[in-house]
Structure 1
Amino acid sequence: MLKNFWYAVEFAHVVDSRPRRITCLGQDFVIWRKRDGSVACLSDLCVHRGGALSMGKVVEDRVVCPYHGWEYESDGACMKIPANPPGRGIPKKARVDAYPVVEKYGMVWAFLGDLPEEERPPIPHIPQHDDPRYRAVYWETVLEANYERALENVVDAAHTPFVHGSAFGDPGRPEIPDYEVTETEWHAEADVQFSPPPAPGIWGMLYRTKERQPVVVSNGWYLPNIVKLHVRLPFGDLILYDHNIPLNRDRTLVKIVGYRTFYTGKWADASAAKRIGKIFEQDRPIVENQRPELLPFDLSAELHIRSDALQVSYRRRRQQLIDRGWWIGEDDDANSAAARREATVIPSPARRDNPELARAWVHKPRGENTDEPARRAE
């Protein structure tokens, strides 16, 4: 799992003024919408006794811990400790990590890392969201598999005739013509040609007046976890942005935003979502049973051919970022199912911006006999 990126962690339309727990990179966060409409994001871990802030409430834009009533501003600073007598100050350690948030393209994005603003990788550009020609639909599910396996599956052109032969591929024509990959620092994309069978249902009705032609699919990835699938159908465009959110190393929350230029009425949304779900469910048993469960670090650990060019480009770029120190390993998982004496927190920009606070809210284990959880910086 990679830190120091913007992660789309939730659909924007479901976030309101109530605290909401979201999970990414093996860590729980609490998000809520403030009175000015902006969204705040904190580590869901009260520094006092490890209470879940998402189980509390929001009072005047502050999230209140349900355990002892500590109140935290959106910048992570504790502003009220009810147990303190009047006049007693609040310790500098009384704060939790706060993460930058942007609401864009129908998603809430949180920057999970400590890079200064000028060094952060960009949020992918999604022009279809504000284009009136496109209609958006939202769909999500949880996949019992690693997010990188999920990501690579979507950019794997060669599996289409075999896994999606009834809907999106032609088993009689499984060949994948050679394609060129266009790469930037944070993105790679390629155009791949398919000859799919006619679409069933109401979408298939459009084929009756159109001569069937090969379909060009633009497929690509955006670091750290997004896949774009642009299908140019004879009657219009279908573009899916697949956000593979790593709940932990072994589970992925998949949030898909699909855009279409045909059947753009609200009445067709259910059909569009159903189609997305049907195609995804064809992939599910394959991806959930891949071995090894985690993507190998060594590029030579699995065999690659020309049709795997997009996956290979992802793995090479991923290795560069691992070498840069952006990788979060098993020891950094704050949401592990196993009992632990330390809970790792992904460092926020405040740790870097203010040296005085860099380790101000880091708690370490007190010894083998303590039952008190501790928080440490990754």
Structure 2
Amino acid sequence: MLTNLWYVAEWSKAVKDKPVRAKLLGQNFVLFRDKSGKVNCLSDVCIHRGGSLSKGFTTKRDCVACPYHGWEFDAEGKVQFIPSRGEGAPIPERARIDAYPTEERYGMIWVFLGDLPEEERYPIPEFPEYEDKANWRAVDVEYSWTGSVDRVVENGIDIAHTSFVHPGFGYQEMADKNEILKVDRGEYWGSSDNVLYPPQLEGNFGLMKLFRADKAATYVSPAFYLPGHCVRLHIKVNSWMEMIIFDANTPVDETTTRSFAVQVRNFFKWPMFDNGAKKRTRKVFGEDGDIVAELSPNYLPESLEHEVSVEQDKFMSAWRMIRRKHIEEKGWKIDTKAMKPFEGEKVFTIPSPSRRTNPHFKWALDTVPLVPPTRRSAATQAEDSSAAEPA
């Protein structure tokens, strides 16, 4: 699990007038709206006696109050009122918890979990079709995986598995005909263009069969983004019908992933077709989920030493290389093993931007330990070069 990235904490529609708990990167957070409607995010722990702020309530001070003793925390994580001390009483300097930047996009609440200043953060991935209501119809779907987020993202960009896992998208006998046409990658993203030969379309009261012949060439472009651990799958059904599945994949903990997915389509844009679109999207997630839950190991291997890859895996290799770079060179990976001895005895928190701007402040909570960055070995660099070679 990586820090210093934007992640989706919850659907916008789920956070109204009461605090809401969200679990990300193995830690609990509280989401609450202030009077202006802005969503705020804090660590979900009161540094007085450990109360859960998400079980509390919002107040006239635009704060979230702990249900245990009523301490009120503002959007910056600072305590503004201690009921037992009365109005106007001084507040201890250390009465403060971590607060995290938030944005609302695509019907989702995004939270930046890290201490990087704003100018150094990778951006939230673009999804312009979501705002183009005139040309695209959107539906949202949620899915929970038993599997690490690294595996979930890799599964989402893997075209080769469609012939075996998704009967609606591929034939086993056509596996060697599916082709990767192009792969691009940047510092925190990757994309590829592919051609597949899937079965005839189904659904929408039988109308879909009219729009693509059996085994007709179909162009599919998956992309991944480190921020949000997002996957964008653009499917050109035919010359005029397109759909896009955009999913933000949030690591709840090491072995659980929560996907916030939006599917947009530029055809059959009437509401009567929405339930069918949701049903088919959930079916695809379910087919993948059954496979990912049984992968061994559950985590993504850090090298290819114990796996065998072929040229059709080069796009997944791009995902692995970018992820590994941010572990080995930037040191953004949470060291969950170092936290195990303290389980149930100590509360950790993700470092927030305030920690960097206030380096001498004595915080009550310790931050999660991180795996120290390392210089990549010659063997690792050689492996990267080999994996990046075109088929």
Q: Under a length normalisation based on structure 2, what TM-score does the superposition of the two structures give?
A: 0.88
Q: Which SS does the other structure have where 2:172 is aligned? A: coil
Where does residue 2 of structure 1 map in the other structure?
2
Aligned match of 2:241: 236
Q: Which runs of 5+ in 2 are unaligned?
A: 370-391
Number of the residue aligned with 1:160: 162
Which of 161, 183, 186 is the aligned partner of 2:185?
A: 183
Q: What amino acid is the match of 1:246?
A: P
Hey, what does 2:17 align to over in structure 1? 17
Q: Which amino acid aligns with 1:257?
A: V
Secondary structure of the structure 1 residue equivalent to 2:231: strand
**CA distance in structure 1 between the aligned counterparts of 2:88 and 2:36, rounded to whole angstroms:** 31
| Alpha-carbon offset, residue 228 of structure 1 | 0.8
Partner Cα distance (2:286, 2:151) in 1: 15
Contact 1:299 1:315 (8 Å CA) reproduced:
no
Label 1:332 to 1:54 Cα distance change in 2 as closer, same or farther (>3 A): farther
In the alignment, is the contact (CA less than 8 A) between 1:11 and 1:107 conserved in 2? yes
Matched, 1:351 2:355: yes
Once the two structures are TM-superposed, the CA of residue 301 in structure 1 deviates from its matched residue by 2.9
Report 1:209-248 matches (<5 A): 213-224=216-227, 225-234=229-238, 235-248=240-253
Classify 1:338/1:353 alpha carbon distance in 2 versus 1 (closer, same or farther; 3 Å). Answer: closer
Instruction: Give the counterpart letter for 2:218 in structure 1.
Output: V
* 1:133-169 alpha-carbon deviations (Å, 9 max, x no partner): 111111112111111111111111111011112x111
Query: Compared with structure 1, are the counterparts of its residues 257 and 202 closer, same or farther at alpha carbon in structure 2 (3 Å cutoff)?
Result: same
Are 2:122 and 1:117 aligned?
no
Write the distance in 1 (CA, Å) between the matches of 2:355 and 2:332.
16
When structure 1 is superposed on structure 2, of 4-13 and 82-91 the one drifting more is: 82-91
Q: Number of aligned pairs? A: 362
CA–CA distance in structure 2, aligned partners of residues 284 and 2 of structure 1 = 22
Segments ≥4 residues shifted beyond 6 Å: none
Residue 271 (structure 1) aligns with = 276
Q: In structure 2, give the amino acid aligned to 1:3.
A: T
Work out the CA distance in 2 between the residues paired with 1:85 and 1:18. 24
Tell whether the 8 Å contact from 1:342 to 1:376 is kept in structure 2 after alignment. no
Pairing 1:49–2:54 present:
no
Residue of structure 2 in register with 1:325 after alignment: 331
Aligned partner of 1:193 in structure 2 is 195
State the alpha-carbon separation in 2 of the partners of residues 87 and 178 from structure 1. Answer: 66
Shift in alpha-carbon separation, 1:337–1:53, aligned structure 2, 3 A: farther
Q: Which residue of 2 aligns with 1:302?
A: 307
Shift of 1:7: 0.8
Map 1:241-260 → 2, pairs under 5 A? 241-260=246-265
1:44, distance to aligned residue in structure 2 (A): 0.5
Query: Are 2:200 and 2:212, in contact at CA under 8 Å, matched by a contact in 1?
Result: no
User: Displacement, 1:14?
Assistant: 2.2
C-alpha distance 90-161 of structure 1, shift in aligned 2 (>3 A): same
Note the aligned Cα RMSD (angstroms): 1.9
Secondary structure of the 1:179 match is strand
Which residue of 2 is the match for residue 78 of structure 1?
79
Separation of aligned partners in 2, 1:267 and 1:33? 33
Q: Which amino acid letter does the alignment assign opposite residue 347 of structure 1?
A: P
> Counterpart in 2 of 1:368?
none
Q: Using structure 1 for the length normalisation, give the TM-score.
A: 0.91
CA contact (8 A) 2:204 2:273 kept: no
- In the TM superposition, what is the alpha-carbon distance from 1:338 to its structure 2 partner? 8.2
Letter in 2 for 1:355: P
Deviations for 1:202-257, whole angstroms, at most 9, x for unmatched residues? 17513325556311000111104111111110251110012111010011111111
Return 169-178 or 37-46, whichever deviates more: 169-178
Partners in 1 of 2:211 and 2:326 — Cα distance?
A: 49
Amino acid at match of 1:6: W
Cα gap change, 1:79/1:173 in structure 2, threshold over 3 Å: closer, same or farther?
A: same
User: Using the alignment, how far apart are the partners of 2:192 and 2:313 within structure 1?
Assistant: 11
Among 352, 359, 364, the residue aligned to 1:361: 364
| Aligned-residue offset at 1:339 | 4.0
Identity of aligned residues (%): 38
**In the alignment, structure 1 residue 34 sits paired with structure 2 residue 40:** no
Instruction: Check whether the contact 1:241–1:258 (CA below 8 A) recurs between aligned residues.
Output: yes
